[in-house]
Chain A
Amino acid sequence: MSNDREKLKALLLSEEIAQLKAIQQLLQDKQQLAQKISEVLDPAADLTIAENPEFQKKFSRIDPESYVQAVKTNKQTFIDALLPIIGPMIRKSVTSAIRRFVADVNRAVEMGISAKALRWRWQAFTTGVPFTEIVFNNTIEYQVQQVFLIDNHSGMLIEFAGHEDDLLQDKEAMSAMLTAIQDFVKDAVSKDGEGLSAAELGDDLVWLIHGNQANLAAVIKGAPTARLRDTMTESLESLHLEQHRQLVDESRWNNNPALKNELEKLLLTKDQSSDDETKSGVNFWPWIIGLTALLAWLLWSGYQRRQVQNAVTEQLQSTPGFVLQSLQHDGDQFIATGLQDPLARLPELDHPVVINSTPYLSLADEVIGHRVSQWLNTPGVKVSVNDQQVTLTGEHDKVADWPAKLQLIGMMPGVQQLHDQTTESHVFELAAFLQQHPAPHQLVVAETDQGFVLTGLSTPQALAEFSQLLVSHGDIDPTAVTTVNPTAVVDQINQTPLLFSSISRLGPSQQQQLAELAQSLAHLQAVGAVPALTLRAQSDCQGSIEESNENNQRRLQLVYDELKALGVDVDDIELDNVPCSTTTETIDLSRIGVWFEVTL
């Protein structure tokens, strides 16, 4: 019977029995078991931690006793290892503590004499809370409205807290936009710095804290104190430390309670509404002190002077592109110090003022307007700027590379938006054409009903090239142009000697010839040639050698003086006396005179 059962069992379950045996064996063989478990340990741990974050702490629990012991016996090693990490942190926190302290003291001093402050002092005295602490608690006024946690790589929103309805854009767009602005700032302004850390958004303030993986941005109403930045930094640090997994895993972004909870802690509000004195209105102390001081000042310096100073201050303060820092009397005049944009246009001032300014880049509408129009340099286009929105109207030239120009205007500092309402000019503008294609040499272009009339001077080649450009816009009449072909002119001069034998004066025909020479030289210069001139005196060598040479010299001088008198302005005129070697018997007038040699 039992035998039959065994058989049946073996028949039905032989495979399963074999599997069970194998499992049993696996459970008993420690090494094999460890091998198997190690294969699933990693994913299993991930799963457990995901479901129960507390689990991880079990692994990281440490035995403090052993650490204490280690530090005690080996202090120096620990100091060496930790110093590079702790050092900068200590320095940073000391700096920010000092900055805070200074701000608090300033506030306290400001408040030091008001009735409110006296009451706070009393409160501090009676309660034992430090005075600065009380001042701090009573003066700050701000509200953190929204908090964004943003992946700093892609600009995608990781988590958000706050009222979504108050946002200008939806939260994803805001987060992308903040990242884009930050990339822009990093690229354009601070190549290796951290980039944007604060920005203004309408009346609100946006603060950005940079982290390794994610950035934290907060939209704040009112005037936050440095302490808020510390709180934000701490919060971002702890998010990186404790929630690192959630930060890097895109699938867990958006509506992650753990992250949202952390961000919500930052939505704090501080205001003075509890302070009834603010509601009741004015605090008279500063007024009384101010009025007394003003009275004393008036007695001392006289009302009139003040009047002038006010007027000048007002004039300077209302000048776009000028930031007045101080205005001081110096004898009869004022010395104004401040920042000045090179494009700022200072008004006629009522009183002599010496401006002592440092250049800066102004983003005032008017100055942006000057900058854009100066850069465009297009007479037909009118630039108007309102609230950093630039509008271009009028006509722009057809030849200019207009879209590229617009692109560049868009990148100018201060230009928020560009509205191009210009139309492309279909009318040919001679002035604009000449600005792009200046006429060569001394060519003058006039526009008439029939086309263009050219006058003045030019080489034939330059005239042809220029006409080629102009001809598409109308007929050209070049008949009045004096064309100057430099090589022909030079040949002409070199082949025409001035023949004369007198050594005391030049006759009318010689004067005429020299006047023509002077004009030819002027033409050469007008078309850009730089002539060098040699005057070469020769004679027929009749009579004595000495006499001939002396006469040559005189003729040279006569010609030279005449040319100078005609206003020839050639850099070097060389005088060359060709001496006679032998004398001749016959007079030969065609060999007496001055020859010219022009080289270019």
Chain B
Amino acid sequence: MKSKKVCMIGRFAVGKTSLVDRFVKNHFSEKYQTTVGVAIATKIIDDHTKFIIWDIAGFEQENHYKPYLRGAHGIIYVVDATEPASLSTLEEIVADAPELKDLPSVCFINKADLTDDINWTEASNEQVAQFSQHSYWTSAKTGDNVEDAFLALSKHLS
């Protein structure tokens, strides 16, 4: 079995930790507890692959996160479908660390369950395509698509 280092990247409160909790423990909480530094979780994907998930604290101005990305095998970008600023945050991160583009990645467009508040356009899709080829509408709350999206990344990793 091979271990793969996967990093969760995105603005604070987009739901990185919630997605990891849904995927690893099949559990969701409405309560927001911000991640400090980085939290590590692991999950066995199949006979050949084990994910070591680095859930990195929300990305703000500083680039303290850079050391955490070293040696990553794959990237999960997370954007909040109801919060356009979270997409700009991702663009800034990729501009700041262009080497990320060379890694296999997927983009989770999260909080898909909040249908009334969704603020997403065709242009948003194009913006995502600039840094990640694959995107999935997910909801950590209902669990929709979460597992599929993680498994999709594992396919791109081999």
Q: Which A residues have a C-beta under 8 Å from some C-beta of B?
A: 151, 153-157, 169-170, 172-173, 176-177, 180-181, 183-184, 186-187, 253-254, 403-404, 406-407, 410-411, 415-421
- B1-9, B123-131, B136-144 - the one binding chain A: B1-9
| A154 pairs with B5, CB closer than 8 A | yes
Neighbouring B residues of A176 by C-beta, 8 Å: 5, 40, 52, 54
- Interface residue? B153 (CB, 8 A): no
In the bound complex, residues from chain A placing their C-beta under 8 Å from that of B151 are none
**A184 to B37, Cβ gap below 8 A?**
yes
B1 (CB) vs chain A CBs: closest residue:
A254
The docked-state distance in angstroms from the alpha carbon of A392 to that of B34 is: 13
Q: From B34, which residue of chain A is reached at the shortest CB distance?
A: A406
Q: Is the CB of B36 within 8 A of A415?
A: yes
Do B71 and A156 touch across chains, with their CB atoms under 8 A apart? yes
Q: Kindly state the separation between the CA atoms of A154 and B2 in the bound complex, as whole angstroms.
A: 14
**Is B41 a contact of A155 with CB atoms below 8 Å?**
no
Residue of A nearest to B69 (CB): A154
Give complex CA distance A173, B53 in Å: 8
B12 within 8 A of A: yes
Q: How many Å from the CB of B60 to the closest CB on chain A?
A: 7
| A411 lies within 8 A of B36 (CB) | yes
Contact B3 A410 (CB under 8 A): no
Give the complex CA separation of A411 and B61 in angstroms: 14
**B1 A155 Cβ-Cβ under 8 A:** no
A180 to B60, CA, bound (A): 18
The B14-38 residues at the A interface (CB cut-off 8 A) are 31-38
A410 in contact with B54 (CB, 8 Å): no
B3 touches A183 (CB 8 A): no
Q: A155-B5, A156-B3, A180-B40 are in contact. Are A403 and B34 (CB under 8 A)?
A: yes
Q: List 22 A-B contacts (CB under 8 A).
A: A154-B5, A154-B71, A155-B71, A156-B5, A156-B71, A157-B3, A169-B40, A172-B50, A173-B41, A173-B52, A180-B40, A180-B54, A180-B68, A183-B68, A253-B3, A403-B12, A407-B57, A407-B60, A410-B36, A417-B36, A418-B33, A420-B33
Does any Cβ of A come within 8 Å of B72's Cβ? yes
Identity of the chain A residue whose Cβ is nearest the Cβ of B56 in the assembled complex: A180
Q: How far apart are B2's CB and chain A's nearest CB, in angstroms?
A: 7
Q: Which chain B residues border A419 with CB–CB below 8 Å? A: 33
User: Is the beta-carbon distance between B32 and A420 smaller than 8 angstroms?
Assistant: yes
Q: Number of A-B pairs whose CB atoms are under 8 Å?
A: 79
Give Cα A151 to B2, complex, Å.
14
Given contacts A153-B71, A186-B67, A407-B60, 6 further A-B contacts (CB under 8 A): A154-B70, A172-B52, A183-B67, A183-B68, A415-B36, A417-B33
A375 to chain B, nearest CB (A): 16
B13 within 8 A of A: yes
Quote the shortest CB–CB distance from A471 to chain B (angstroms): 28
Assess whether B64 is interfacial by the CB under 8 Å rule. Answer: yes
Q: How far is the CB of B156 from chain A (nearest CB, A)?
A: 17
Distance of A292 from chain B, by nearest CB (Å): 53
Q: Chain B residues with Cβ under 8 A from A403's Cβ? A: 12-13, 34
- Asked if B135 lies at the interface with its beta carbon under 8 angstroms from chain A, I say no
B67 touches A187 (CB 8 A): yes
Question: Which residues does chain B contribute within 8 Å of A173, judged by CB atoms?
Answer: 40-42, 52
* A172 in contact with B67 given A407-B34, A407-B57, A419-B33 (CB within 8 Å): no
CA of A172 to CA of B36 in the docked complex: distance in angstroms?
20
Choose among A157, A187, A415 the residue with the greatest number of B CB atoms under 10 Å from its CB.
Answer: A187
CB distance from B81 to the nearest CB of A (A): 18
Does B58 count as interface, using CB distance less than 8 angstroms?
A: yes
Q: How far is the CB of A371 from chain B (nearest CB, A)?
A: 16
Closest chain B residue to A251 by CB distance?
B2
CA distance A254 to B40 in the complex (A): 19
In the complex, A180 Cα to B36 Cα: how many Å? 11
Cβ B34 vs Cβ A187 within 8 A: no
B60 touches A177 (CB 8 A): no
List residues of chain A with CB within 8 A of the CB of B68.
Answer: 180, 183
CA distance A156 to B64 in the complex (A): 20
Give A176 to B73 CA distance when docked, in angstroms: 14
* C-alpha spacing A407/B5, complex, angstroms: 25
Contact B12–A154 (Cβ < 8 Å): no
C-alpha gap A170/B40 in the complex (Å): 10
Interface centre among B1, B35, B64, B71 (most CB of A within 10 A): B71
How long is the Cα–Cα vector from A403 to B41 in the complex, in angstroms? 24
Contacts of B60 in A (CB 8 A): 404, 407
A153 to B70, CA, bound (A): 6
Contact present for B34 and A180 (CB under 8 Å): no
Most buried by A among B36, B58, B71: B36
| Cβ B42 vs Cβ A172 within 8 A | yes
Nearest Cβ on chain B to A491's Cβ, whole angstroms = 50
Q: Nearest CB to that of A187 among chain B residues?
A: B64
10 A-B pairs closest in CB distance: A154-B71, A183-B67, A410-B36, A176-B40, A173-B40, A180-B38, A153-B71, A173-B42, A177-B40, A172-B52
A424 CB → nearest B CB, Å: 12
Most chain A CB atoms below 10 A, which of B2, B40, B54, B72: B40
B71 and A410 within 8 A (CB): no
Bound complex: CA A419 to CA B32 (Å): 8
Report the bound CA distance from A403 to B72 in whole Å.
28
State how many angstroms separate the Cβ of B45 from the closest Cβ of chain A: 13
Q: Is the CB of A418 within 8 A of B40?
A: no
- Assembled-state Cα–Cα distance A399/B68 (Å): 33
A188 and chain B: residue at smallest CB distance = B64
Q: Which residues of B contact A418 (CB under 8 A)?
A: 33-34, 36
Using Cβ atoms and an 8 Å threshold, which residues of chain A touch B64? Answer: 184, 187
Nearest chain A CB to B68 CB, angstrom units: 6
